[in-house]
Structure 1
Amino acid sequence: MALKRTNVYADDEDLDLIKEAAKRLGVSEAELIREGIHRIALARRVWDEPFVTDEETFDLGGPITRDDARDAMDGAFGSGESRGREHAA
């Protein structure tokens, strides 16, 4: 991938965080900034076509309730008492 030079303005606090992270991870500050730019570019990308078309969707059987989720968790991990179930809202 060819790199192109550009200038950006950033808060001192953000630059300090980048400097600390780069040192901790053993990479350059520029590498972290490039990674951040790439992540934002991907997150804001607009696709020409939908990821899933109407023909590709399917019915999962209706809305999933809180009790459905608890039953699934109990089935997978056992009783909810050890997970603090009595405190669930």
Structure 2
Amino acid sequence: MALKRTNVYADDEDLALIKEAAARLGVSEAELIREGIHRIALAQRVWDEPIVTDDETFDLGGPITRDDVREVMAGARGPGEPHERGHAA
């Protein structure tokens, strides 16, 4: 991948956080900034084609309830695995 140089203005607090993270991770500050730019670019991308056409649908078998999710999650845990209560569902 060819890299191009550009200038970016950033808050001092953000730059300090980047500096700390780079030192902790053992990578350059520039690498973290490039990764951030790449993630934002991908997150803001607009696709030319829809993932699902108007003719395609997904049948999930009806409404999924909170109890349905809990039942599946309870079955996914192995014996002796702790049950963690979260805020979701």
Q: TM-score range by the shorter chain?
A: 0.7 to 0.9
Query: One-letter code of the match for 2:49?
Result: E
Cα distance in 2 for partners of 1:84, 1:20 equals 31
TM-score, normalisation: structure 1: 0.80
SS in 1 for 2:70: helix
Displacement after TM superposition at 1:58 (Å): 2.1
Cα distance in 2 for partners of 1:29, 1:19 equals 6
Q: Percent identity over the alignment?
A: 85
Bigger shift: residues 54-63 or 9-18: 54-63
Matched, 1:75 2:55: no
Query: One-letter code of the match for 1:7?
Result: N
More helix by share: 1
Change over 3 Å in CA distance of 1:76–1:31 after alignment to 2: closer
1:23-77 deviations in Å (ceiling 9; x for gaps): 1111110010000000000000000111122333221112211121122223333
Unaligned runs of 5+ in 2: none
Report the equivalent of 1:23: 23
Cα distance in 2 for partners of 1:74, 1:32 equals 38
Change over 3 Å in CA distance of 1:22–1:64 after alignment to 2: same
Runs of 4+ in 1 over 4 A off after TM superposition: none
Report the equivalent of 1:7: 7
Number of residue-to-residue matches in the alignment: 85
Change over 3 Å in CA distance of 1:56–1:32 after alignment to 2: same
SS in 2 for 1:4: coil
Cα distance in 2 for partners of 1:46, 1:59 equals 26
Displacement after TM superposition at 1:83 (Å): 3.1
